[in-house]
């Protein structure tokens, strides 16, 4: 626990005010004695291997200095310094994480009207990152901060570049980030690029829309099984060296039971969750998507699914996945899908969420 004593000559931690704690260290609320402003200071642990992580993050943050933190929706870094054996990085103080905001606002999920500005701002942040040759590699609700929960439309910023990498410096087989938000190519040890951030963005948006994590597996195998259950079997040329193969249901439930803006949102999210990374939508393409067009009216004032409609999705699509097969199993071809069929895909996702929900509760 950080003691309420000076961190270097210019930062004084506020008593017992720890904002967060992780595997690399803590984030403390501190007063800058030179400016009298309250800032968030990340204090890295003085352990073997952590120094390299800290220096990597500082290198990434230096590359981002040219960006405007407000228009690019990336947290502002005020600088870094050493406190005895610890490396410290100072950031602007923000309100609360998107994860905490969801629980406070509506644990069952946000409306499309609330989702739209969040998605646009995160796509903006990723667009600037990717244009700078940087992969965030750990996009998830705790790593998105709300600037001020009382201001609407909500303004958010991307934080935590502890595992961020330059695209040019990524090696095949590298695994970083958080299991539940990792793209399949990362889990399988395949080559990957900035498209893994788009996969994570899709999962994040599903979580904000439904209030539930989509792939809450405990192992890489669990997560991959859930991915293939909801999205079908990838062909061999998509994951050349992977050996896991699964059978999935061929039929899709088709029900145009959502408002038009929700259908468009589902279609957009699906383009982020393409198993083929080369076909995954880019951050710049997201910003040009018709979901943000002026003529798309916010028709929905409720989250995508209430508890009762989640169960309805389970009843309509009551198909259990077949056991996994050998690497030689012929993959199932998924036909071209319309907007209506996108809803069937989303229903399968909701069914996966419900099954996980019952597993953890009962």
Catalytic residues: 138
Mention every residue, 6+ apart, whose C-beta is less than 8 A from residue 233.
Answer: 245, 246, 247, 248, 329, 331, 332
Q: Give the span between the Cα atoms of 112 and 129, in whole angstroms.
A: 25
Pair of tokens at residue 316: 């309509």
Residue indicated by tokens 């809803």: 343
Of 159, 32, 2, the C-alpha closest to 96 is 159
Q: 10 Å Cβ neighbour count for 12?
A: 15
The total number of residues shown for the chain amounts to 362
Taking the alpha carbons at both ends of the chain, their separation in whole angstroms is: 36
Exposed/middle/buried for residue 264 (C-beta within 10 Å: 0-12, 13-18, 19+) = buried
Pair of tokens at residue 79: 């600088």
Q: Is the dihedral of CA 183, 204, 103, 157 positive or negative?
A: positive
Pair of tokens at residue 354: 């419900």
Cβ pair 273, 266 in contact under 8 A: no
Cβ pair 245, 326 in contact under 8 A: yes
């Amino acid at each position: 626990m950080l003691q309420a004593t000076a961190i270097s000559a210019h930062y004084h931690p506020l008593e017992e005010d720890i904002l967060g704690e992780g595997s690399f260290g803590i984030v403390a609320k501190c007063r800058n004695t030179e400016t009298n402003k309250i800032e968030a200071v990340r204090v890295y642990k003085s352990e073997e291997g952590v120094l390299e992580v800290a220096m990597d993050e500082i290198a990434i943050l230096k590359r981002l200095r040219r960006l405007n933190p407000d228009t690019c929706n990336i947290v502002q870094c005020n600088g870094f310094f050493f406190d005895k054996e610890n490396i410290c990085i100072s950031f602007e103080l923000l309100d609360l994480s998107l994860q905490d905001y969801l629980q406070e606002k509506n644990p069952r999920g946000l409306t499309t009207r609330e989702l739209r500005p969040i998605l646009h701002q995160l796509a903006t942040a990723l667009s600037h990152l990717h244009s700078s040759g940087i992969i965030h590699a750990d996009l998830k609700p705790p790593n998105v901060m709300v600037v001020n929960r009382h201001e609407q439309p909500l303004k958010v910023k991307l934080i935590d570049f502890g595992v961020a990498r330059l695209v040019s410096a990524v090696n095949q087989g590298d695994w970083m980030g958080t299991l539940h938000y990792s793209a399949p190519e990362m889990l399988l040890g395949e080559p990957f690029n900035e498209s893994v951030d788009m996969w994570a963005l899709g999962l994040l948006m599903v979580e904000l829309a439904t209030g539930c994590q989509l792939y809450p597996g405990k192992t890489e195998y669990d997560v991959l099984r859930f991915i293939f259950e909801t999205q079908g079997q990838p062909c061999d040329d998509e994951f050349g060296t992977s050996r896991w193969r699964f059978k999935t249901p061929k039929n899709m439930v088709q029900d145009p039971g959502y408002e038009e803006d929700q259908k468009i949102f589902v279609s957009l999210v699906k383009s982020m969750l393409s198993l083929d990374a080369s076909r995954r939508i880019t951050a710049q393409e997201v910003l040009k998507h018709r979901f943000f067009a002026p003529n798309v009216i916010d028709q929905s004032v409720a989250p995508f699914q209430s508890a009762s409609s989640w169960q309805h999705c389970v009843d309509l699509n009551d198909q259990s996945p077949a056991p996994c097969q050998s690497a030689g199993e012929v993959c199932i071809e998924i036909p071209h899908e319309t907007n209506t069929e996108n809803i069937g895909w989303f229903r399968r996702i909701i069914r996966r969420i419900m099954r996980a929900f019952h597993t953890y509760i009962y």
